[in-house]
Amino acid sequence: MIDSFFLLLDGFATALTWSNLLYCFIGVMLGMIIGVLPGLGPVSGTALLIPITFGMEPVSAIIMLSGIFYGSMYGGTITSVLVNVPGEAASVITCIDGYEMTKNGRAGAALGVAAIGSFIGGIVAVVALTFFGPILADVALNFGPPEFFAIMLLGMLMIVALMGKSLVRGMIAAVLGLVFAMIGQDLVSGEYRFTFGSLELMEGIDFAVMAMGLFGISEILLNAEKPTQIGNVPKVKGLLPRKGEWSPTLKSAGRGTGIGMILGMIPGANSIIASTFSYMLEKKVAKDPSRFGKGAIEGVAGPETANNAHSGAALIPLFSLGLPSSPTMAVILGAFIMHGLTPGPALFTKNPDFVWGLIASMFIGNALLLILNLPLVGMWAKIAMIPYKLLYPIILMVILIGTYSLKGSLWDVGMMLVFGIIGYLMKKLDIPMSAMIVTFILGSQLESSMLQSLSISTEGFLIFLTRPISAVILIIAFIVFALSIFSGVKNKRGKLAADVEM
């Protein structure tokens, strides 16, 4: 515990250098913009910036990319509250009471409460990461390939179990991701697989290419059918809640933090589940539930806190186990690997400067966001007003050039467009893309951990069941899987259904 504290102080020394402060600032600003703009989500946003980070030090690169991730959570709220259009899926719930508050002339208070709640949720989650992350990593240091195989399998199954209406389609997405991951050279045997004689496919498919296509291009195509109309943005006055509202606001922020943190650590339980859950809880504990839907301040504070706590907590399994719980996390994991870092238990011991610098930057980033958010609300609202007809060609162009700049290869650009169309079709068919990209990124690790396990095993596949930890994890995975089949048969999946980026 106390070690973590001192290491964190060292981390601040890294994060507070001018260049890293600047990257953190750029990251959270871009995150806000991505959150505010329709048509550009966190996955394509982070993937787009990966080529830019090539020349940077790993710690600066990841500081910036994570800034985008948690920054977009703040940004998504602004349009939900002001114009009833969620900038990010996680802010859908905020529309309900947030927009009502705006109609009552209380937009300022709604935004203020959301910002404060987000800050509380974000900071508490980072504190949890500071103290809980190393402990989890310590435990995981004793894990061998069988345990990691089991954890990855559990993570994938959780994502499949929690996303989408149909279990079959979720499974299809997951398996397709694994199949795509096999294209190129096999790390274990060195054999080239599924290359169809193409030189370009020998290198495999770049995860950033896939992410930009699936989440960037498809989003633009979907928006082209039903363009989101953004009406006039109301004037924002006064950012603080009334005197009597402070205590209920802080209480709901507290509950939201708890919910967000717990769900954040569970792979597949996306931020929309966290904010929905929080909203339901607030409604339940309220003395007068009829206020909800008519501008209840708790209905903004709770969910907004929950989704930020969620995004912070989602970093805990990523850092300590190397397990991404959502597509955005998967892209950040890809960026780690690109910069020569392996997320996982060894990260805390092998690259302490990196980890603690990053964690410290998240404290700074959350503080920056709070400062940027409140006084600059007017400016963010103006950005939301940029007409979409002007915006989407620019976004497309940046995606095209961003993909090209990864390797300077037009093949990648073509591939990205193919994934764009695949993504669009998947969305229409309701096959969850999130499951596909997560399994794609974990694919080669899943395979190699399995092969390694079998090579150290004397009893074949039984090794996964004779080692206690992996056996327990696999049993949990099996139960999760069985339950999701059961819920599928009973037709009870409807409520969970959502393919969300974060």
Partner 1 sequence: MNINVKQFNAGVWAGLVILAVAVIAFVISFQYSYSGIVGPGPGFFPFWLSLILMILAVLYIYESIKGKNVSDEEWPTGHSLKKIVFIIMALLLFLLLFVLCGYLVAGTVFLIVLFFKEYKWWQTVALSVGITMFIYVMFNNVLKVHIPANGILF
Question: Applying CB under 8 A, which residues contact partner 1?
Answer: 51-52, 54-55, 165-166, 168-169, 171-172, 175-176, 178-179, 182, 186, 188-189, 191, 193-194, 217, 220-221, 224-226, 389-390, 392-394, 396-398, 400-401, 404-405, 408, 410, 413-414, 417, 420-421, 424-425, 427-431, 447, 450-451, 454-455, 457, 460, 488, 493
**Between 54 and 131, CB nearer to partner 1:** 54
The nearest distance, CB 194 to partner 1, in angstroms, is 6
436-467 burial string, b = 16+ CB within 10 Å, else e? bbbbbbbbbbbbbbbebbbeebeeeeebbeeb
Q: How far is the CB of 82 from partner 1 (least distance, A)?
A: 24
Pairing of strands 184-185, 192-193: antiparallel
> Alpha-carbon distance 269 to 256, whole Å?
15
CB of 106 or CB of 427, closer to partner 1: 427
Shortest CB 401 distance to partner 1, Å = 6
Query: What minimum distance in Å lies between the beta carbon of 430 and partner 1?
Result: 3
Torsion angle, alpha carbons of 78, 81, 83, 84, to 10: 120
Tell how far CA 498 is from the center of its chain.
14
* Radius of gyration, CA atoms only, the chain: 22
Closer to partner 1 by Cβ: residue 109 or 463 = 463
Min. distance of Cβ 148 from partner 1 in angstroms? 16
Closer residue to partner 1 in complex, CB, 11/177: 177
Give the number of other CB atoms < 10 A from CB of residue 168.
Answer: 13
40 vs 120, beta carbon nearer partner 1: 40
Q: How far is CA 182 from the centre of its chain?
A: 24
Q: Cβ neighbours of residue 373 under 8 Å, at least 6 residues apart?
A: 32, 74, 111, 115, 118, 380
CA-CA-CA-CA torsion for 215, 303, 379, 243, nearest 10 degrees?
Answer: 180
Smallest distance from partner 1 to CB 491, Å: 8
Nearer to partner 1, 245 or 447 (CB): 447
Closest distance between partner 1 and the C-beta of residue 400, in Å? 6
Beta strand ranges found along 52-195 (DSSP E): 184-185, 192-193
**Complex with partner 1: residue 236 or 431, whichever CB lies closer:** 431
